[in-house]
Amino acid sequence: MDRTPPAENAATITLDGVGKTYDDGTVAVGALSLEVGAGELVALIGPSGCGKSTILRMINRLIEPTSGRILLDGDDITTANAVDLRRKIGYVIQHVGLFPHQTIAANVATVPRLLGWSKQRTQARVDELLDLVGLEPERYRKRYPSELSGGQRQRIGVARALAADPAALLMDEPFSAVDPIVRVRLQDEFLRLQRTVRKTIVLVTHDLDEAVRLADRVAVLSQHGMLQQYATPIDLLREPDNSFVREFIGADRGIKRLSVTEIDPKRLAPADSVANAAAGPSVPLDANLADALAALLDGGRGWVAVTDPETGAALGVLTATAIAEAGAA
């Protein structure tokens, strides 16, 4: 993901020995320490029951931690008013949770309305956010959730979470309730949106491909929220810290690594080194190595042309050997 500067209202989140033990002695999270930088998207991933969603809910105090501290830009939020805190932190869940009898505009305006924003300011913010998530305001603001597709409802959920310009955004399996094709489209839209708003985001997902595609850093957790590795996607896939992480990532981590590795122009052979480069399989320079490999295999020529994203002119070609060497670097 492009490292554009964070938004002005983007907070650092610090978990300092945070834990949750229930009254019956069940330990959901032991003692987790983790820092999420301002404007950074961090994915929490691990096996079912490892405490991912519990950690997320402790950050906005839907679940109260039993130990440790949670800091938002250095302020301990465990001592703050929980309701006020939740109005400062956006929250997106798997099944969206839109109010079915309210219009889309009213749903997006939920928090601004609670904060006492004027009608004019609220309407302007609703239209701004609908446009930002790719839904034309004139067409969608008066519709109801039942009139939208699952993917459109999920976009509205994101818009609602961003409505009051929160310092942080928490997302719990936000794209898992839609079909795979829509899911990829939503991920693409979300990447575009994050490049624009650059918020601090903590994302819970069970999908490693989604984590490495979206996140700046990935936190791999084992039972009781024990942190096994905290790294960028490419470092995680290149150098798993231990056998747990290695097994969790799987034997195909080399293929996954291609999806987070950019095409290096220095590895391109001249376009004139192959016949009919302009007519063969191609990918733009801003694609990743996984895209290049897929195009190479589909083309059946043993190479793929790499083109200028703006002009479409061939910049050179990648061979299978070059892709393999780049992925292993």
Residue with tokens 């869940």: 93
How many angstroms separate the CA atoms of 90 and 187, rounded?
A: 18
What is the structure's pLDDT at 95?
67
- Asked if 288 contacts 257 with a C-beta cutoff of 8 angstroms, the reply is no
For the segment 205-260, what is each residue's pLDDT rounded down to a tens digit?
Answer: 988 889 988 999 999 999 999 999 999 998 998 889 999 999 998 867 777 788 88
Q: What angle do CA 172, 177, 180 make, to 5 degrees?
A: 115
Q: Identify whether residues 307 and 252 lie together within a single domain.
A: no
Instruction: Provide the 3-class DSSP secondary structure of residue 305.
Output: strand
Asked if residue 4 is part of any domain, the answer here is: no
For the segment 121-139, what is each residue's pLDDT rounded down to a tens digit?
Answer: 999 999 999 998 888 999 9
Nearest to 248 by CA among 29, 48, 54, 55: 48
Cα four-point dihedral sign 220, 260, 5, 231: positive
How many angstroms separate the CA atoms of 270 and 215, rounded?
A: 34
Asked if residue 121 is part of any domain, the answer here is: yes
84 or 232, which is more confident: 232
Tokens of 98: 């839109």
Q: Identify whether residues 174 and 210 lie together within a single domain.
A: yes
How many angstroms separate the CA atoms of 299 and 297, rounded?
A: 5
Cα four-point dihedral sign 127, 130, 132, 136: negative
The enclosing domain of 241 has a CATH number of 3.40.50.300
Q: What angle do CA 197, 200, 201 make, to 5 degrees?
A: 100
Q: In terms of residue numbers, what domain contains 160?
A: 13-257
Domain boundary among 223, 241, 257: 257
Residue with tokens 């950690």: 55
Q: Tell me the HSE value of 51 on the side-chain side, using a 13 A CA sphere.
A: 26
Mean pLDDT on 55-66: 93
Domain boundary among 212, 229, 257: 257
Task: Provide the Cα torsion 186, 216, 296, 255; round to 10°.
Answer: -110
Q: What angle do CA 244, 250, 252 make, to 5 degrees?
A: 150
Q: Identify whether residues 128 and 157 lie together within a single domain.
A: yes
Domain boundary among 257, 287, 320: 257
Q: Identify whether residues 245 and 272 lie together within a single domain.
A: no
Asked if residue 210 is part of any domain, the answer here is: yes
Q: Is the pTM of this model over 0.85?
A: no
The enclosing domain of 319 has a CATH number of 3.10.580.10
Asked if residue 44 is part of any domain, the answer here is: yes
Q: Identify whether residues 234 and 312 lie together within a single domain.
A: no
Instruction: Provide the 3-class DSSP secondary structure of residue 329.
Output: coil
Asked if residue 126 is part of any domain, the answer here is: yes
- Asked if 108 contacts 158 with a C-beta cutoff of 8 angstroms, the reply is no
Q: Identify whether residues 278 and 151 lie together within a single domain.
A: no
Nearest to 201 by CA among 316, 209, 193: 193
Q: Identify whether residues 27 and 126 lie together within a single domain.
A: yes
Q: Tell me the HSE value of 263 on the side-chain side, using a 13 A CA sphere.
A: 27
Q: Identify whether residues 133 and 177 lie together within a single domain.
A: yes
Q: Which of 87-101, 152-166, 194-208 has the lowest mean pLDDT?
A: 87-101
Instruction: Provide the 3-class DSSP secondary structure of residue 240.
Output: coil
Asked if residue 8 is part of any domain, the answer here is: no
Q: Which of 47-51, 198-202, 244-248, 275-279 has the lowest mean pLDDT?
A: 275-279
Q: Identify whether residues 222 and 269 lie together within a single domain.
A: no
Burial 207-229 (b: 16+ CB within 10 A, else e): bbebbbbbbbbbbbbbebbbbbb
Nearest to 203 by CA among 109, 107, 129, 94: 94
Confidence band for 6, pLDDT divided at 50, 70 and 90:
low
Residue 1, pLDDT > 50, answer no
Q: Identify whether residues 35 and 182 lie together within a single domain.
A: yes
Contacts of 34 (CB under 8 A, 6+ apart): 14, 15, 42, 219, 227, 230
Residue with tokens 């907070």: 11
Q: How many domains does the chain have?
A: 2
- Which residues, in sequence order, are bridge partners of residue 303? 319
Q: Identify whether residues 292 and 165 lie together within a single domain.
A: no
Instruction: Read off φ and ψ for residue 95, nearest 5 degrees.
Output: -105, 25
Asked if residue 247 is part of any domain, the answer here is: yes
Instruction: Provide the 3-class DSSP secondary structure of residue 214.
Output: helix
Tokens of 244: 């747990």
Asked if residue 57 is part of any domain, the answer here is: yes
Q: Identify whether residues 228 and 97 lie together within a single domain.
A: yes
Confidence band for 10, pLDDT divided at 50, 70 and 90:
confident
